[in-house]
Amino acid sequence: MSKSLVEWAKGNGTRPPIVTCAAWKGGDGKSTTARELAYLLDAVLVDLDWDAGCSSRSMGYRHENYVRSPLRDGFTKGRTPTPISGRRKADLVPSYPDLVEEQPHRDEVTDALERWARDWNRPVVVDTHPGGCEATYGAVNAADTVVVPAVMVKESLNALEGMVDELTDYPLLITPNKVDSPPQWARRRLAEIVKRHDIPMGPLVYDEPWIRKRTINIAISSEPVAKRARRFVDSMDGLVKAVINYA
């Protein structure tokens, strides 16, 4: 029987759920997926990517306009950050560029995310920097589900294989992203990777060239959904279901 969002959001009895979007390859769709998932799950989006291509900037947050960083204060002062409320987009705890040098130890990141989820009493979606760095390991360790977008090209599949071989026993959920008639060998390779570790798969997310041209920063899934976005939003709805029912 499928769980409802309301039931899922209550979490495991100690805290609401944490969903981390991670991939060992850059550019495969972590941030795009994280923003939509956070919006649809009514979760707080915690951005742990310090690069200019991060979710915070895509969502219109410019760190240079602020003196303080709630994320830094959260890590260094033990203060639970107050998320910035989003209209037609997720509530956000933005990242800051110095996080690259100031990354806390992974255990501190895990502890902080778990504490914040409890304090907010809301699910948390974490966007991460590509690859295995302290902040990403911390977020992966905290996660009830690790959503891994994977593009069906050689380099991404190599990176995916490295990631799943390293993170055996982690609650991974692979979503093939930017799917555009992948060749037979790529389908076979993905199937082998998934089968070897018995990893569940989320829905296919098709390549939608219009996504790359978007300049507005509201969630693609926010109503009213544009006609061209219907197929993408259907995939995101499918991903939400897969996350909620993740065993």
Bridge partners of residue 128, in order along the sequence? 48
Which x/- pattern, by CB under 6 A, does the window 107-146 give for ligand ATP? -----------------------x----------------
Looking only at residues 151 through 190 of this chain, which bind ligand ATP when binding is defined by CB under 6 A? 177-178
Residue 101 Cα distances to 4, 22, 73, 216, angstroms: 40, 20, 15, 31
User: Any idea of the CA torsion for 5, 7, 13, 19, to the nearest 10 degrees?
Assistant: -10
Q: Which does 130 bind (CB under 5 to 8 A by kind): Mg ion, ligand ATP, none?
A: ligand ATP
Task: Return d(Cα 103, Cα 86) in angstroms, integer.
Answer: 26
DSSP 76-93: HS-PPPPPBP-SSS-EEE
Is 205 a binder of ligand ATP (CB under 6 A)? yes
Q: Which residue of 16, 29, 138, 182 would you call a contact of ligand ATP, by CB under 6 A?
A: 29
Tell me the residue type at 12: N
CB neighbours of residue 58 within 10 Å: 17
CB of 10 to ligand ATP, least distance (A): 29
Query: For 195-198, which contacts have Cβ atoms below 8 Å and span 24 or more sequence positions?
Result: 196/164, 197/164, 197/165, 197/168, 197/172
Which of these segments, 24-32, 37-45, 155-163, 172-180, binds Mg ion (CB under 5 A)?
Answer: 24-32
Regarding 31 and contact with ligand ATP (CB under 6 A), the answer is: yes
Residues 44-83, mask of contacts with ligand ATP (x by CB under 6 A): -----x---x------------------------------
Beta carbons of 127 and 49 less than 8 angstroms apart: yes
The entry of ligand ATP, Mg ion, none near residue 103 (CB within 5 to 8 angstroms by kind) is: none
Interface residues for Mg ion in 30-49 (CB under 5 A)?
30-31
Kindly list the residues in this chain that would bind ligand ATP in the complex (CB under 6 A): 23, 26-32, 49, 53, 130, 177-178, 205, 207-208, 211-212
Kindly list the residues in this chain that would bind Mg ion in the complex (CB under 5 A): 30-31
